[in-house]
A and B are shown apart, each in its own frame.
Chain A
């Protein structure tokens, strides 16, 4: 026979059970709402996943477009450099011809002057000098030489400005590297969500193997960076040993 104590424990437990049921009764609407919420949320999440997958699949195209921009600018730069080389060769040739003409002009002038003492007429000297004055080409030729020199300086400036291609290609490589990182993150997110491996798709980022770049590359005509390099090198020149260089910079 159960003791009174046992009976009271049983009633206490039944009481607890009743509380659980009554709590459960209140919880049912909440669980029901949660179910409804999930019903609405799952398609939404699927939509988000689909959007991410779609966007992610477009990333290789964007990256490859950037890569093709780099290739196109490199090709165009090479063409410009080829043309500049042709132009420089032509200018060299014109410069040489002009120098030869100047030389011949001087010879001609010297020759005509050398004739004067041998001429019989009184006014021979005046005649020759008048002729030379009216037919003087040396100043024109000197002007042509100056123009050629200026044109050569200009073609050199064009060549130097083409350094922008190398610098922008490094900037684009930095962007591509960032795009690739985003692609990897999104791919792993999608894989966690529905086991889809987007890297299996046909669209892949085709970056040049072993591509390296300076993420801080800038095309700037400011001499600030060069000045800093010069300062550091000048400081190091004044120190004698590697230990001292280390001490200076550490």
Chain B
């Protein structure tokens, strides 16, 4: 099964940049959400979504809270989540790790970094997604 991404960011600009980067990496299936709550609604409604790329700072429900919500859900719990955020300080990275994020990209990112992290996540998941 191919990857179907859920891109979660309150900035429309960032969502477009992530989508464009993924297109350049050869992916073409995307759904977008403007905050964590909307993301959870879309994840519940569409079981084919199998990879989440999320920002941290968002209104309503933050990226960190989104990861915790995903991990605590029986159905969605194993969906790979990549955090793409400006938060680059050690404590934040550790907090995300404790919430069981699969990998972490600090903005501004490059397509090479994005590819590297997606590949690493897929490899560690045994390519199941």
List the interface of chain A (C-beta within 8 A of B).
74, 77-78, 81, 84-85, 156, 159-167, 169-170, 208-214, 216-221, 224-226, 228-229, 232-233, 236-237, 242, 245-246, 249
A210–B105 CB distance below 8 A: no
| Interface SS majority for chain B | mixed
For residue B95, which residue of chain A has the nearest CB?
A249
A156–B12 CB distance below 8 A: no
| Min C-beta distance of A241 to chain B, whole Å | 12
- Of A78, A162, A216, A233, most buried by chain B (CB within 10 Å of CB) is A233
- Checking A214, A245, A249 against B57 with a beta-carbon cut-off of 8 angstroms, the contacting residue is A214
B12–A212 CB distance below 8 A: no
- Checking B86, B87, B98 against A245 with a beta-carbon cut-off of 8 angstroms, the contacting residue is B98
- Checking A161, A210, A229 against B93 with a beta-carbon cut-off of 8 angstroms, the contacting residue is A229
B111–A156 CB distance below 8 A: yes
Q: Which residues of A contact B106 (CB under 8 A)?
A: 225-226, 229
- Checking A85, A156, A166, A232 against B90 with a beta-carbon cut-off of 8 angstroms, the contacting residue is A232
Q: Give the size of the chain B interface in residues (CB under 8 angstroms).
A: 38
- Checking A85, A169, A210, A229 against B88 with a beta-carbon cut-off of 8 angstroms, the contacting residue is A229
B57–A213 CB distance below 8 A: yes
| Min C-beta distance of B105 to chain A, whole Å | 7
A74–B12 CB distance below 8 A: yes
Q: Which residues of A contact B93 (CB under 8 A)?
A: 228-229, 232-233
Query: Given A226-B106, A232-B94, do A216 and B89 touch, yes or no (CB 8 Å)?
Result: yes
For residue B10, which residue of chain A has the nearest CB?
A212
Q: Which residues of B contact A237 (CB under 8 A)?
A: 124
For residue B23, which residue of chain A has the nearest CB?
A88
Q: Which residues of B contact A214 (CB under 8 A)?
A: 56-57, 85-87
Query: Given A156-B20, A166-B11, A228-B88, do A233 and B104 touch, yes or no (CB 8 Å)?
Result: yes
B113–A226 CB distance below 8 A: yes
Query: Given A163-B109, A166-B107, A226-B106, do A212 and B13 touch, yes or no (CB 8 Å)?
Result: no
For residue B63, which residue of chain A has the nearest CB?
A212
- Checking B60, B105, B110 against A160 with a beta-carbon cut-off of 8 angstroms, the contacting residue is B110
What does the 1/0 interface line of B91-126 toward A look like (CB < 8 Å)?
Answer: 001100110000111111111010000000000100
A216–B107 CB distance below 8 A: no
| Min C-beta distance of B127 to chain A, whole Å | 17
11 residue pairs of the A-B complex, CB under 8 angstroms, read A84-B20, A163-B108, A166-B11, A212-B59, A212-B62, A221-B108, A225-B89, A226-B109, A228-B90, A237-B124, A242-B98
